Amino acid sequence: MQMNTPRVVALLWLLWIAHTYADDRVLRADIHHPHNTPLKDVAVVVTVDHEQSLNTITDHFIGHSLGFPNYGVHLAPYVESEKLINIARALSPMWVRMAGNFVSGTPYKVTRGALWDKMNLFFKTVGWDQIHVLDDHVHHHDGSWSPDKARALLQYSAAKNYPFAGFELGNEYDIASQHSNKTLTPQQLAKGVQTLRDLLGEFHQYNSSFIMGPDTAFVNPHFFKGFLSAGGSTVVRAATFHQYYFPGPQGKLSYFTNITIFEKLSRRIDLAMEQAHAVNPHLPVWLSETGSASDHGSAGLSDRFVAGFLWLDKLGMCAKKGIQSLIRFVFYANNDYYGLINKELNPNPDFWLTVLYKRIVRGAVFNVTGRHDVRVYAACSNTNKLVL
């Protein structure tokens, strides 16, 4: 592997290999069989086009979710521990999306006390910027969103000078009927985010906080595009959707290295971009909740080394296809398998991949062509933080 005429310093991810290189021509890599039986070498040729940037990776490209109060209650006893603080700081700056059971009918009174104070102090200490998912089940009979309980939350938080970088209203309303008899149309949700925008205007601390939506589980014209077409695109900073490759209980080891599984994300992003930009060509798109497997993850897989193949490919694919930010679910696993750290506060392999990516990769993203079964992505390196 030779480096010639350095014009751009980029990071190349071949899933299991990371090389920093500077080459405006062609990179060639020999792949050897990992076992002792000698096999024929296979020449893999990839081409990096550095003449035009596809996207820009910022210091907030990766975020994570923290379910509240479910995960918050279990994590709260440790938020003053030096171990957890050091682990969390390694990820900063970063979005923390407060989601999960908190938005499924949990009373707002849970935020009015020691737990809420403790979590906000923790966020300030470690340098996380909060995106808060407001309760989506507080509606009038006509389906319009009632801001009264959210106003109480904001009044309490404003008095304490707790910052909110952004907000969402509800979660996965496109599949709400599968979990309860409470449903909402995309048009009603679009009116709800406008009500939320008006509410934020009542507080000088939160007047500039952004709103995202519609946070759909899938990308379909009825809800995702319908929300944006009904006026949502004029309110939200980014169109948001969720993505998991497969249900956790169905996960198999082979899924984590299967190219067909990998390509599911690419198709989902293409749909989201197509529908969002049909309404507003300049609207950013975020992947606001994601992981390898849904439903608590796959036991013995989502928290192991093999999960890194899907996670690294997701980081590269999102950057290449123009996703502005992606939010990993979840930071603290408790009794689940897809956390960046486990319930003993020990980092899982995906935590270290996330730290390395944030420290090494920053700036312009470039197109790479070659074999689709060798996953290669290129982007500029982070010149501000190359010390590992």
The model's pLDDT over 106-119, given as tens digits with 9 standing for 90+, comes to 445 545 568 888 88
Q: Of 37, 103, 16, whose CA–CA distance to 289 is shortest?
A: 103
Q: How many residues are there in the chain?
A: 388
Q: pTM for the complete prediction?
A: 0.89
Structural domains of the chain, with CATH? 56-363 (3.20.20.80)
Residue 263 corresponds to which amino acid? E
Mean pLDDT of 287-294: 97
Both tokens of residue 183? 């449903």
Number of neighbouring beta carbons within 10 Å of residue 46: 18
In angstroms, the CA 212 to CA 167 distance is: 6
Hey, is 186 helix, strand or coil? Answer: helix
Radius of gyration of the chain (CA): 21
In tens, the pLDDT along 60-103 reads 999 999 876 565 678 888 999 999 999 999 999 999 999 754 44
Is residue 82 classed as helix, strand or coil in its secondary structure?
helix
- Cα–Cα dist 363/213, whole Å: 26
Of 357, 377, 334, 362, the closest CA to residue 65 belongs to 334
Dist. CA 197–CA 167, nearest whole Å: 10
**C-alpha torsion 282→283→288→293, nearest 10:** -60
According to DSSP, the residues that pair with 12 across neighbouring strands are 19, 378
